[in-house]
Homo-oligomer: A and B are copies of this chain.
Amino acid sequence: MVTTGPGRPRLTSPRRPGASAAEEILDAAAELFTTQGFTATSTRRIARDVGIRQASLYHHFATKEEILEALLERTVSPALAAADALTAADVPGAVALHALAWFDSRQLASARWNLGALYLLPELRSPSLAPFVEQRRALRGRYAALARRAVLESEGGDRDGDDAALLDLPFRIVESVIATRADSDEAPSADIGRTLADAALRVLGVDGQAIEPHSRRALAAAGLADTAPTD
């Protein structure tokens, strides 16, 4: 008999990665949402895939939307924490942006399930998803603020630091990992983090070639060394 926190004791060993029943529920839901679709997935089916009763699932999550909210928040909260640390660090905007883009695109590329494929669901307009939507909006704002700093600090300086569509592109380039994963059966190339971080600067007209060592150091200094890119 396996005990996994609140809810009924389990009669079987866990079938899913995760240190608790809640983690197993999240993993099963992530697989079903990304492969069968959010609407087409029932909480009954999630419980079955975990090997628990539906009633046990409700000990952990009141609704299917609550599971989705928890999953989606995890796709942005590490990047948001990284953005805050890098924004506060004493480094040029281009270095902070490169480091953030590298960290975040690696994270999106290596996550077990491609949950970003759910970002455009109409269901995200429901009030229960508001915390995630707000977090992702905040992350997008951090990218744009760092992009603006990078443009204004750059020597070329022929770009417009007020072009909102341009300043939005580093965030969009990083999130392109999601579509790349969805469009291909292969895993993204190991080098995808560096490629996208370089591209996030180049698209602003900022040369990022000399930036990489500084970007690595900035990640280490921000306490992100354990998760620093190794590609």
Contact = CB atoms under 8 A, between A and B. Distances in A.
Interface stretch (A64-72, A87-95, A188-196, A212-220): A188-196
Interface in A148-174: 163-166, 168-169, 172-173
Given A172-B180, A176-B169, A178-B120, A205 B203 contact: no
A120 B179 contact: yes
A109 to B, nearest CB: 10
Contacts of A195: 163, 165-166
A168 B173 CA distance: 11
In this complex, the interface size class of chain A, counting residues with CB under 8 Å from chain B, is 35 or more
Given A164-B189, A202-B205, A173 B175 contact: no
Contacts of A173: 169, 172-173, 176, 203
A56 interface: no
A230 interface: no
A107 to B, nearest CB: 16
Interface stretch (A2-10, A13-21, A30-38, A221-229): A30-38
10 A-B pairs with the lowest CB-CB distances in the bound complex, closest first: A39-B39, A172-B176, A117-B120, A165-B195, A203-B203, A120-B182, A37-B122, A199-B203, A39-B40, A165-B192
7 contacts: A37-B122, A165-B195, A166-B195, A172-B172, A175-B176, A175-B179, A202-B205
